[in-house]
Amino acid sequence: MTMTGTIEERATRAVEGDAAALESVLREVRDDVYGLALRMLGHLTDAEDVSQEALIRIATQLAKFEGRSKFRTWAWRRPRRLKRPGTVKVHSPWTMLSWIMGPGAAGVGDC
């Protein structure tokens, strides 16, 4: 079944108990979350572990999405403590994005 509507609309349906909408939302952000984790960590297995943790946080905190921002903006703010398994070094997603995009990148960390 193909899901219709914006990601924000599907997120709202997911909060209301629509399992297919939840799956659709997580599938849509999965590659972006994994890509960020891979760029941050540089190791496939660690990136898989961290992105799985981030998706779990997004799913379990979905009821906190109020629709005041774009869903993707909200989703990037959920996994505030992505870390390499077995280490104590912690980075926010905004710090990671600034490493990737360079200092002063428009909008990074402004939310």
> In the predicted model, is pLDDT for residue 97 greater than 80?
no
Q: Per-residue pLDDT for 84 more than 80?
A: no
Contacts of 96 (CB under 8 A, 6+ apart): 36, 39, 40, 82
Residue 86 inside a domain? The answer is yes
Write down the pTM of the prediction: 0.68
In a domain, 106, yes or no: no
For residue 106, what pLDDT is reported?
45
Residue 20, domain extent: 7-99
Evaluate if residue 99 carries a pLDDT over 80: no
CATH code of the domain in which 64 resides: 1.10.1740.10
Does 87 map to a domain? yes
- Count: domains in the chain: 1
